[in-house]
Amino acid sequence: MTPPGGPLLGHGGEVWRDSPSMIDHLFKRWVGDPALFLAVLLMTSFGVAMIYSAGVLNIPSPVTENAWIRQIQWAGIALVAFTVIRQIGARWIEWIAVPGYFGSVLLLVATLIWGTGSGTASGVNSFLAIGPVQFQPSEWAKIATILALARHLGTRPEDPTTLRALVAPAAIVGVPLVLVILQPDLGTALAFAGILFAALFWAGTPISLLLLLVTPGVALVLSFDPRIWAVCFVLLIGALYLYRYRLFLVESLSVILASLVAGTIATPLWNSLADYQQNRILVYLDPSVDPRGAGYHVIQSMVAIGSGGPTGKGFTAGTQKRFDFLPEQHTDFIFSVIGEELGYLGTVLTLLLFAFILFRLVKMAEREADPFAGLVIFGIFGAWLVHIFVNVGMTVGMVPVTGIPLPFVSYGGTFLLMSWVAVGVATKLAGENERSL
């Protein structure tokens, strides 16, 4: 019997031959990159599950008990935002880069004046409140900065290979970075640094120059031991001599001067730090120096991850978590919950899924003929890479405790929303340019 609209038989008598391809086409048109979308959706769902587990305590806490429900609500809003962005023209995204950037800077300034803390982040004035709703302007500022930086670097006729060419990109990132540090929110500030270095790398800045840019910071750290600093300074001079034909003289002299200044101010800078700030740095080097104070978070986190063993203690069954020994277990230290309850297997699978998400972003950026689109996508890659590296490294004692969430997994409405907005922007720009090629 022939259905309405004509026969469904293809050339060889195959039924519904074109239906799968049509469904695939419609799905790809809605989500852009199906593999990236499904990976992010899976990670978001996994995050909700782990947030639920983080709230299962022997003595219930009002902070974490219903956090998973609020995260589901924010996930729904995030999916709506993702869908809306997918309907916006790519040129509109490029047009909004400049006004969006200045708007984000104004919001960050407003946060310094009227900002408040939120939940466990009560000590950081990084939230603005509109009625009962609180949001974190620094999360939007990351996306706005990526767009503005890509707009600037994408329109330059030549690659940024000199210090003079790096001034403007550094200023674009430096303004929101400084405003975020003043909140103070060092973790989010690190993400801005990741955005800058990722964008410069993708724009064609030589790796040797990027490494030289971080030399003064390394010199600042090493200068606490004058002998090590002296050896490294000599090595720096030698490296610059070897690169004398590749780097301009001003770059070499600037790096040497900055390293000398960093080495000179290290001791006065250390003495100017408050006791708790010095203690936090010392605890990073050795958490056991203050096991009940500044080192408590790191020690409890490492105990939780180590006690999970190969396969973990079971979903919701983590003892470190249940007795509330883990700090910020639904936000910054949620990776510790994963390690305790799902074991090494769970942590490895989580990291592999993150690696796949980052891999998809790199492949999308590589396919781009439009410099703006490629820079935006790789800027998002840089921000997420910093979030993942610092958050996971923090839970195992590799990096200092700074307070930075794990993308799509940690509890946080604004962070989840803006992460999905970033996915929408990346897939929209990639899909638009693929159709135009």
Which DSSP symbol is given to 57? -
The alpha carbon dihedral of 260, 265, 267, 273 has a sign of negative
Note if the bond before 184 is cis, omega within 30 degrees. yes
| pLDDT (0 to 100) of residue 320 | 86
Total-model pTM: 0.83
Q: What is the C-alpha separation between 407 and 417, in angstroms, rounded?
A: 10
Contacts (Cβ under 8 Å, ≥6 apart) of 371: 150, 153, 154, 155, 203
Q: What is the C-alpha separation between 188 and 84, in angstroms, rounded?
A: 26
| pLDDT (0 to 100) of residue 26 | 66
Which residue ranges make up each domain of the chain?
34-87+293-437
**Consecutive 10-residue runs of the chain (437 residues): their mean pLDDT?**
43 46 68 91 96 86 84 96 90 92 94 74 71 85 96 84 84 93 85 94 84 66 55 57 52 61 65 66 68 76 90 90 82 93 95 96 91 95 95 87 90 94 94 53
| pLDDT (0 to 100) of residue 220 | 58
Q: Single out the residue of 203, 218, 119 nearest to residue 168, CA to CA.
A: 203
Note whether 388 and 406 are within 8 A (CB). yes
| pLDDT (0 to 100) of residue 20 | 54
| pLDDT (0 to 100) of residue 161 | 77
Largest CA distance in the chain: 89
pLDDT in tens, 293-339: 667 778 888 899 999 999 999 998 888 888 878 778 888 899 999 99
Radius of gyration over every alpha carbon of the chain, rounded to an integer in angstroms: 24
Q: Single out the residue of 280, 300, 282, 288 nearest to residue 401, CA to CA.
A: 280
| pLDDT (0 to 100) of residue 3 | 43
